[in-house]
Amino acid sequence: MLTTTFGALADPTRLAIVSRLSRGDATMGELAEPHRITLPAMTKHVGVLVDAGLVTRRKVGRTVVCTIRPEAFTEVEQWLGDLTAYWHSTVDRLEELLRGGGDGTRRPDRQGAAGNNREGVRRLDPGGVAHAVVLPQP
């Protein structure tokens, strides 16, 4: 379902439609106006969102009203949460490694890795500060 959702949201107009509907229901005319597209073109865009299960539409007299389906975004929210947790833990592990913990290595002294039987890689950050990463030898 994620590929269907992201496929539907890949078009900038459809993404804008979903953003607009997140603030409340809107008619087809209200959705079309900011994009300066015809009602038939808007109908096609909304149709893609309906087919993806992200939006519903209903007739009220002669007007078509569109509504977002918040529950359709639960899977996206879960996926983004998992991805965010992964990257946070990866950054946390990297910070721990750079502080000299976690894998039994110690932080190199100012002279670098020479003499401690480990390969050292030195890098200068944009501020000119040297950083060394110690990699254990196999």
pLDDT at residue 111, rounded to an integer: 45
In the structure, what pLDDT confidence band is assigned to residue 114 with cuts at 50, 70 and 90? Answer: very low
Q: pLDDT by residue (tens digit) across 57-84?
A: 999 999 999 999 999 989 888 888 888 8
pLDDT at residue 15, rounded to an integer: 96
State mean pLDDT over 18-24.
96
In the structure, what pLDDT confidence band is assigned to residue 50 with cuts at 50, 70 and 90? Answer: very high
Check whether 43 has a pLDDT greater than 60. yes
The class (CATH top level) of 1-72 is mainly alpha
pLDDT at residue 129, rounded to an integer: 56
Check whether 118 has a pLDDT greater than 50. no
Q: How far apart are CA 75 and CA 50, in angstroms?
A: 17
